Amino acid sequence: MDPARRRRLLLTLVLLAVGVLAVDQLTKAWALSALEQGSRTALLGDLFGLQLIRNSGAALGIANGTTWVLTVVASVVVVVVIRAARRLGSVGWAVALGLLLGGALGNLVDRFLRQPGFARGHVVDFLAYGDWFIGNVADIAIVAAAGLVMLLALRGVRLDGTREVDAAEGDPAPGDRGSDGALPEQALPEQTLPEPAADEQPSGSEEPRA
């Protein structure tokens, strides 16, 4: 792959991850200063509102009380995303991994730095979706990343930007294409015409007269 394109994809991933992390932490800081624990503020009736809680479980309020396990899982996710970025060749995957990395880091910061202790901290949640669950911006990014990954998988788009159909048909990978996306020209084998036999006369020629 073109090194310049690889750098652009990595930059997209990093900027998106940093943006998600920043928005997540800023909104959590606002929620801690502006909302009361457990008190609900309706924004869209019973469908959506603001309610501050501290979650010891996973995204969307799943697996409460397993904080240290989820800290390990989130740390592994971060490492996997960073390693996968080395093979990145698709804009869609850059966006998906950026969202996933930013969301994982957003909640991981809470688990490492918030009470009750290191690697056991409770995640700040404040976005209440009816009576279903309460989440945060990091959760939104993680869910969006999961949806995008499923879409890319259904379309057969691989991490390096190739498609499963292209690979099966022997189509060159994106890195084998030119800067304009065109396929390189292939040299054609030289064709030589057979030489006429010695006793053959050129067509249309007359035999010499006596």
Reported pTM: 0.75
Give the model's pLDDT for residue 207: 53
Cβ 21 vs Cβ 105: under 8 Å = yes
Active site residues: 125, 139
Cβ 181 vs Cβ 1: under 8 Å = no
With CA atoms as reference, report the closest residue to 40 among 29, 53, 57, 27: 53
Cβ 122 vs Cβ 115: under 8 Å = yes
* Beta strands 40-42; 123-129: pairing state: unpaired
123: phi then psi, degrees, rounded to nearest 5:
-80, 140
Query: Coil, strand, or helix at residue 5?
Result: helix
Give the model's pLDDT for residue 181: 46
Tell me how far apart the alpha carbons of residues 148 and 79 are, in angstroms, rounded to a whole number.
20
17-69 pLDDT tens trace: 999 999 999 999 999 999 999 899 999 998 999 999 998 866 555 666 667 78
Give the model's pLDDT for residue 131: 86
Tell me how far apart the alpha carbons of residues 25 and 21 are, in angstroms, rounded to a whole number.
6
With CA atoms as reference, report the closest residue to 92 among 140, 14, 175, 152: 152
Residues with pLDDT less than 70, the chain: 57-66, 165-210
Give the model's pLDDT for residue 125: 95
